[in-house]
Amino acid sequence: MTDLKPRQLLHLVFGGELSDLGKHEFADLEKLDIIGIYPNYAEAYKAWKAAAQKTVDNAQMRYFIVHMHRLLDPVENPPPKG
């Protein structure tokens, strides 16, 4: 029997204060908060939620999950249609 490892689906969690709530533009790029890189969406979501909850009192602060695996291999991971 072969050892089958689950595919790595890397996700980056980061955030910062937005300059305008209607845009994804940060007020100060030098103050971005890089939370980390996670091996799957579930782990990234936990980290995102914890970071977002710490800054709930600041309406300008936003955290994001970036699907790095889609950027690293766009042929195998095409963006969703819709």
Residue 75 belongs to a domain? yes
Number of domains in the chain: 1
DSSP secondary structure string, 59-72? TTEEEEEEEHHHHH
Task: Select from 63, 61, 57, 62 the least CA-distant residue to 45.
Answer: 63
What was the pLDDT predicted at 71?
83
Residue 13 belongs to a domain? no
Q: Taking the model in full, what pTM does it have?
A: 0.79
> Per-residue pLDDT tens for 5-55?
777 899 999 999 999 988 999 999 999 999 999 999 999 999 999 999 999
Q: How confident is the model at residue 69 (pLDDT cuts 50, 70, 90)?
A: confident
Task: Select from 14, 24, 8 the least CA-distant residue to 48.
Answer: 14
Residue 40 belongs to a domain? no
Residue 28 belongs to a domain? no
Residue 67 belongs to a domain? yes
Task: Select from 33, 59, 61 the least CA-distant residue to 47.
Answer: 33
Residue 70 belongs to a domain? yes
What was the pLDDT predicted at 58?
93
What was the pLDDT predicted at 82?
58
Domain of residue 76, residue span: 54-82
